[in-house]
Homo-oligomer: A and B are copies of this chain.
Amino acid sequence: MPYTNKDNYLLAVDCVIFGFDHDRLKLLLYKRNFEPEKGKWSLMGGFLKREETLDEAASRVLAVITGLRNIYLEQLSAFSDVNRDPAARVISIGYYALINIHDYDEVLLHKYGAQWFSIDELPDLIFDHHEIVDKALRRLKRKSKTQPIGFELLPTYFTITMLRNLYEAIYQRELDPANFRRKFMSMDLLDRLPIKDKNGSKKGSFLYAFNQDKYKLQTSGGFSFDLSGI
């Protein structure tokens, strides 16, 4: 063993779990069930195991609370303040996940005392979890402008208005319906279904689905997804 007398630490992952409900961006939080700070609201987290990567640890943690696998997941960064956790020197790697909010396992949620909160009505969180949430929000805002990740937060079939509501929630500003529609139509990434959703209006609006193949085709042709100008 060539590395002698090195300090060592506990390594954790903490997940900021995003959902989108009608017109609100939400976070899934849970009541921490062990000391310290037992009973306080917290991000879902867990310790890294010896035989897994950090990405695998984050996936495992997500599966435990949501029952879902193959979720969109991205690493944010490491949080390493010496006293961020008063009980031990724990370095945490922040992650964020995007899930379809109606896709989760209710039973598991209740088991862990988990609950969805609007991002503008968050409760107090333990340790530096607010900082992790801030970083996740900034990353989501930035990344969603250049990658088609918004669809991860929507059901498979959605209307253009739902899509616009999502981006309005992410960017926290209103978008012109006419220009927004044109922008997405011009990218040619969506399949229009021969079905209208009449919930939102009497006229009804077509349902669309994101088409991964079309996206790849466009990308290979030099196109890049870009919502920077909307």
Contacts and interface: CB of A to CB of B under 8 A. Distances in A.
A75 interface: yes
A136 to B, nearest CB: 14
- Mostly helix, strand, loop or mixed at chain A's interface? loop
B49 A7 contact: yes
B35 A53 contact: no
A12 to B, nearest CB: 9
Interface string A34-67: 1110000000000111111111000000000000
Interface residues of A, number: 34
Interface string A1-22: 1110011111100000000000
A19 to B, nearest CB: 24
B6 A8 contact: no
B48 A9 contact: yes
Interface in A58-93: 75, 77-78, 80-82, 87-91, 93
B7 A47 contact: yes
Contacts of A77: 75, 77-78
A23 B69 CA distance: 47
Given A77-B75, A80-B53, A88-B1, A9 B11 contact: yes
A77 B50 CA distance: 19
Contact of A6 (B10, B51, B55): B10
Nearest to A88: B3
A228 interface: yes
A142 to B, nearest CB: 9
Contacts of A51: 82
Contact of A8 (B1, B11, B36): B11
A91 B81 CA distance: 17
26 contacts: A1-B88, A2-B35, A2-B36, A2-B87, A2-B88, A3-B47, A3-B88, A6-B10, A7-B48, A7-B50, A8-B8, A8-B10, A9-B11, A11-B11, A11-B91, A48-B80, A50-B89, A52-B82, A53-B82, A54-B78, A54-B91, A75-B77, A75-B78, A77-B77, A77-B78, A78-B78
